[in-house]
């Protein structure tokens, strides 16, 4: 395709050039017209007016005399090319004419008209003004090629093969006229030095004048009104230049001729006379078939071309286009059968004997077209595939097409994207410590190699979501300043078999090329799941092949290759043991949810990035104690939420209140202002939450209560917020108090309403799972004993006997009943207090710790240290947010113990 485009662009260039020769370099009309205009005022009357000639002009009189001495020129008309000799001989008869170069022919008036017609209508377009110059060819003669073409045209034998000659002739002529023009201009500018040739020209001019006048009177044309050029400008003693000067088409250069022919064909075919015309069957029958003028018919697809007997047609229709060579009528047919029938009938009607019937031949539409239609789509498809495969970097061969087998790992480099440093990762000092060793290995490998230490190949970072595993890996790359390739385990898995393994190969090959570098495979459990585990569910060969490839690649490193593989997962428990063995992922780094101090550090990192006037030390501590169980990602989100809340209120800085609103939003969910509870439901929710609050206040081991609310948020209709603190061990009593407190809502409903609601189901779920864990995992049941039964819901068979199962059920029930009894005794005792808190809740909707102290007096037990520091008497009081709009609603109650109670 592109070659065709290039080719036609080449034609266009040549065509332009050809035209350029004829119009710019050749005829130089603008100059000519300017020159003509300059002399016209003086000379025009002498040329174009016979009646207004000024009487006393010596020069003119002399010219008239000269003209009278010269013999009259008689044009010799030659009917065809054979008359060329006669034309050449006529050169002597015309003194006004210029010497004829070799291969040029003098033309008669009739021939001149014919040539003029060709030049005006021929393949090369001449602007109107330049056509006037064509008149000059009476004096210059014409190239033989042009003359012959003119004769052929006159005889009606002009064909495609003559186009080359025509163009060549036109070019030669254009060039000659241009030279004349150039010479005349030179003469004009050097008027102070009249040359001999000029004097000759002057003498010739008068004879020309005479001739013009004679022609004018003969033709009785009113040419006097037409603008004419000063002829003296074209008279010169210019030596003939048969080779055409600088003409690029000079001589018989075959290439020029071929190109010229091609250009001419292109131009001519676009403007030439028609080569065919559609005709109806009726017309064809009436005008040609019935008269026996049809020689042959050719069926091509659904078109029939009619070949006429040209001589017979010429004798019958001498003026018809049908007589032109190469001209054919054609008509369309619906089907070949129908056409044959019709033709047969028409010929039978005319009584044409079978031996004289019109021969019909059948031609394939076009071999090329047929081939194109048959093989084109296939060739195109194959071409596209090959093209696509070539475009894929490194494609072909083992990499296959479209890059399916290329690793999708994203590459980051120290200079461009990885700006994370260890200082940006807060609250996981041990993990940082572990991983920093990789950095020193990448930076100074010789320190390890010198002592014969083997460089660790990789580390698995395991921990809950959002705890900063990816961040830690990025910081490692940022600190070590090496390229960092990050890819998710799921990106190895594709629907094509073998793709995962080849992507692993590609990833490691790229990493080796860029060593030293770090590969980080996030969510490695997507491919690193234990092979034995997956067999149980039918297995997945593709995933296993990918895992095997990772194992192979990690084995394939030699100790000097500085490629470190880090992997992140939330499910380290299901990873294949082979992956975890030393020599592959040597280090197992736990990245757990941050402790209180860790959260404080993380808060500090993010508080630095926002605008706040609060004391960062106090603020970060308070926020950290408000957010037990929060991972780094939750903290980052919380700080951002606070900034958004502050911005929404057009605040100048972010205050503690904004942070607390943000935490509440993150913990409890979005406030549901549209949820309107009816009064009974609202009252039930208030008493339910008051039951929890009273339990939290009066049970010794309950977590400190922070806030009670009956504003619906997230999925819950109300909630009580406790601060459980970072408890790593829990005693039996703590568990019992927590269970009793969780049942406080339902028991309060029982005590204050005639019936109970569905709102306590989430409480029951928590209580049940706590009691079950006490019996089956924590060894807190004497009857079951110190046994551990893993609660795996996927397993069909329980890991204990039927009898043990019954014992477990009985023990779980017993523990829950004990907690129930404990709670009921307290709430019966504190029934009045429950009522006080519930009524206050109905009024204010949100109660904070201060309200509880005001209504119930101080809590009878000491608070935890951290709680006392940030929320006790000595601490600044957190601003309350009682202004949030009330909104009652149906169904489920949900409470929050920090984050755990969701």
Ligand X SMILES: Nc1ncnc2c1ncn2[C@@H]1O[C@H](COP(=O)(O)OP(=O)(O)OP(=O)(O)O)[C@@H](O)[C@H]1O
User: Can you give the binding site for ligand X, defined by CB under 6 A?
Assistant: 425-428, 465-471, 522, 568, 570, 602, 605, 632-633, 636
Going by C-alpha positions, the residue among 752, 736, 895, 759 that lies closest to residue 817 is: 736
Q: How many angstroms separate the Cα of 712 from the Cα of each of 673, 681, 841, 851?
A: 8, 12, 13, 20
Q: Which is nearer to ligand X, 289 or 461 (CB)?
A: 461
Instruction: Give me the least distance between CB of 788 and ligand X, in Å please.
Output: 27
- Judged by beta carbon, residue 486 or residue 562, the one nearer ligand X is 486
Distance between CA atoms of 88 and 110, rounded to whole angstroms? Answer: 15
- Which residue matches tokens 């199962």? 805
Q: Could you write out the DSSP letters of every residue in 510-560?
A: HHHHT-SEEEEEESTHHHHB-HHHHHHTT--HHHHHHHHHHHHHHHH--TT
Shortest distance in whole angstroms from residue 634 CB to ligand X: 8
Q: Which two tokens stand for residue 290?
A: 């019935």
Distance CA 526, CA 499 (A): 15
> Minimum CB separation from ligand X for residue 662, in Å?
15
Angle, CA 582 vertex, CA 578 and CA 584 arms, to 5° = 65
For ligand X, give the closer residue by CB, 22 or 472: 472
The least distance separating ligand X from the CB of residue 408, rounded to whole angstroms, comes to 17
If the CB atoms of residues 168 and 469 are measured against ligand X, the closer one turns out to be 469
- How many helices (H) and strands (E) the chain has is answered by 34, 16
Distances (CA, A) of 885 to 401, 788, 847: 61, 48, 14
Q: Residue 693, class by beta-carbon neighbours within 10 Å (0-12 exposed, 13-18 middle, 19+ buried)?
A: buried
Distant-in-sequence contacts of 415-418, Cβ < 8 A, 24+ apart:
418/474, 418/477, 418/478, 418/484
**Which residues fall within 8 angstroms of residue 624, CB to CB, at 6 or more apart?**
596, 597, 599, 600, 603
Helices assigned H by DSSP within 70-136: 84-89, 109-121, 128-131
CB of 746 to ligand X, least distance (A): 36
Taking the complex as a whole, how short is the minimal distance between the CB of residue 409 and ligand X, in angstroms?
Answer: 16
- Kindly state the tokens that stand for 880: 């309350």
Residue 752 DSSP label: H
CB of 597 to ligand X, least distance (A): 12
Closest to 474 measured CA to CA, from 505, 502, 438, 448:
438
Tell me how far, at minimum, the Cβ of 837 lies from ligand X, in Å.
38
Residue whose CB is nearest to ligand X in the complex, by number: 632
- Gyration radius from the chain CA atoms: 53
Q: Which is nearer to ligand X, 610 or 836 (CB)?
A: 610
Query: To the nearest whole angstrom, how small is the minimum distance from the Cβ of residue 469 to ligand X?
Result: 3
For residue 323, give both structure tokens. 């007589």
Instruction: Name the 3-class secondary structure at 68.
Output: helix
**Separation CA 602–CA 609 (nearest Å):** 12
Residue whose CB is less far from ligand X, 293 or 667:
667
Measured from the CB atom, is 122 or 427 closer to ligand X?
427
Closest CA to 804 of 777, 778, 779, 776: 776
Q: Using the 8-state DSSP alphabet, how is residue 242 labeled?
A: T
Catalytic residue among 130, 136, 641, 689: 689
Angle between helices 831-844 and 849-856 (to 10 degrees): 140
**Would you say 304 or 521 has its CB closer to ligand X?**
521
Distance CA 205, CA 229 (A): 13
Nearest distance from C-beta of residue 467 to ligand X, angstroms = 4
Active site residue 230: no
Please give the C-alpha separations between residue 152 and each of 161, 310, 327, in angstroms, as whole numbers: 11, 18, 17
Q: Select 456 or 466, whichever has its Cβ closest to ligand X.
A: 466
Whose tokens are 């595993």? That residue is 469
To ligand X, the closest distance from the beta carbon of 548 in angstroms equals 24
**Under 8 Å between Cβ of 808 and 784:** yes
Q: Write the burial class of residue 347 (CB in 10 Å: 0-12 exposed, 13-18 middle, 19+ buried).
A: middle
DSSP assigned state of 571: -
Which amino acids are annotated catalytic? 689
């Amino acid at each position: 395709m592109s070659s065709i485009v290039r080719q036609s662009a080449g034609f266009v260039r040549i065509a332009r050039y050809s035209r350029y020769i004829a119009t710019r370099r050749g005829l130089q009309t603008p100059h000519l017209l300017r020159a003509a205009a300059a002399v016209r005022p003086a000379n025009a009357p002498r040329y174009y007016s016979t009646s207004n000639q000024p009487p006393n002009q010596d020069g003119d009189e002399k010219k008239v005399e000269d003209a009278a001495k010269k013999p009259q020129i008689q044009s010799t008309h030659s009917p065809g090319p054979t008359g060329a000799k006669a034309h050449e001989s006529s050169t002597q008869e015309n003194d006004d004419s210029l010497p004829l170069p070799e291969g040029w022919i003098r033309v008669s008036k009739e021939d001149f008209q014919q040539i003029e017609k060709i030049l005006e209508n021929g393949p090369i377009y001449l602007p109107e003004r330049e056509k006037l110059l064509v008149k000059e060819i009476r004096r210059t003669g014409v190239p033989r090629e042009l003359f012959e073409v003119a004769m052929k045209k006159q005889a009606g034998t002009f064909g495609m093969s003559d186009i080359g000659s025509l163009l060549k002739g036109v070019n030669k002529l254009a060039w000659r006229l241009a030279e004349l023009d150039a010479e005349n201009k030179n003469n004009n500018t050097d008027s102070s030095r009249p040359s001999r040739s000029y004097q000759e020209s002057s003498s010739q001019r008068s004879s020309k004048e005479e001739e013009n006048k004679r022609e004018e009177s003969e033709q009785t044309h009113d040419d006097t009104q037409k603008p004419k050029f000063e002829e003296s400008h074209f008279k010169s003693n210019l030596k003939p230049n048969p080779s055409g000067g600088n003409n690029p088409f000079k001589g018989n250069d075959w290439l020029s001729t071929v190109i010229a022919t091609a250009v001419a064909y292109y131009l001519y075919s676009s403007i030439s006379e028609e080569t065919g015309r559609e005709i109806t069957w009726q017309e064809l029958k009436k005008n040609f078939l019935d008269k026996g003028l049809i020689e042959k018919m050719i069926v091509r697809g659904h078109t029939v071309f009619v070949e006429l007997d040209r001589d017979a047609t010429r004798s019958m229709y001498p003026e018809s286009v049908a007589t032109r060579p190469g001209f054919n009528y054609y008509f369309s047919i619906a089907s070949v059968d129908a056409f044959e029938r019709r033709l047969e009938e028409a010929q039978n009607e005319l009584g044409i004997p079978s031996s004289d019937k019109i021969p019909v031949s059948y031609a394939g539409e076009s071999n090329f077209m047929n081939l194109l239609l048959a093989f084109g789509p296939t060739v195109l498809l194959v071409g596209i595939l090959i093209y696509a495969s070539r475009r894929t970097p490194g494609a072909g061969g083992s990499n296959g097409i479209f890059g399916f087998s290329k690793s999708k790992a994203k590459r980051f480099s120290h200079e461009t994207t990885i700006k994370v440093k260890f200082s940006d990762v807060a609250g996981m000092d041990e993990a940082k410590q572990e991983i920093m060793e990789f950095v020193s290995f990448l930076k100074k490998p010789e320190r390890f190699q010198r002592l014969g230490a083997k460089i660790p190949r990789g580390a698995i970072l395991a921990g809950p979501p959002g705890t900063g595993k990816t961040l830690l890996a990025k910081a490692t790359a940022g600190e070590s300043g090496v390229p960092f390739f990050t890819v998710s385990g799921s990106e190895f898995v594709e629907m094509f078999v073998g793709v995962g393994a080849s992507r692993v190969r590609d990833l490691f090959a790229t990493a080796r090329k860029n060593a030293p570098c770090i590969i980080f495979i996030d969510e490695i459990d997507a491919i690193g799941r234990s092979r034995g585990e997956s067999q149980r569910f039918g297995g997945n060969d593709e995933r296993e092949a990918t895992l095997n490839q990772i194992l192979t690649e990690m084995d394939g490193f030699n100790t000097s290759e500085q490629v470190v593989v880090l992997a992140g997962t939330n499910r380290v428990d299901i990873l294949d043991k082979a992956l975890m063995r030393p020599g592959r992922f040597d280090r197992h780094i736990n990245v757990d949810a941050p402790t209180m101090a860790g959260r404080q550090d993380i808060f500090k990192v993010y508080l630095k990035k926002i605008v706040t006037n609060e004391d960062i030390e106090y603020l970060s501590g308070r926020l950290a104690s408000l957010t037990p169980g929060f991972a780094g990602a939750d903290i980052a989100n919380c700080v951002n939420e606070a900034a958004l809340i502050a911005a929404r209120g057009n605040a100048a800085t972010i205050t503690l209140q904004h942070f607390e609103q943000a935490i509440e939003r993150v913990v409890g969910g979005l406030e549901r202002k549209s949820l309107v509870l009816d009064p009974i439901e609202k009252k039930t929710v208030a008493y339910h939450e008051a039951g929890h609050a009273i339990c939290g206040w009066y049970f010794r081991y309950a977590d400190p209560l922070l806030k009670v609310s009956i504003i619906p948020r997230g999925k819950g209709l109300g909630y009580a917020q406790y601060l459980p603190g970072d408890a790593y061990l829990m005693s039996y009593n703590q568990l019992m108090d927590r269970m009793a407190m969780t049942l406080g809502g339902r028991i309060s409903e029982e005590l204050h309403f005639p019936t109970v609601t569905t709102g306590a189901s989430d409480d029951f779920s928590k209580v049940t799972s706590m009691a079950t864990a006490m019996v089956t995992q924590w060894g807190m049941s004497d009857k079951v004993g110190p046994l551990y039964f893993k609660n795996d819901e996927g397993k069909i068979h329980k890991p204990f006997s039927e009898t043990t199962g019954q014992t477990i059920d009985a023990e779980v029930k017993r523990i829950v009943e004990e907690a129930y009894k404990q709670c009921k005794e307290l709430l019966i005792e504190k029934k009045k207090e429950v009522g006080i808190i519930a009524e206050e809740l109905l009024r204010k909707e949100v109660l904070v710790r201060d309200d509880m102290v005001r209504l119930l007096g101080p809590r009878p037990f000491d608070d935890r240290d951290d709680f006392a520091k940030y929320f006790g008497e000595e601490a600044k009081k957190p601003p309350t947010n009682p202004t949030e709009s009330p909104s009652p609603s149906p169904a489920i109650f949900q409470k929050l113990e920090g984050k755990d109670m969701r």
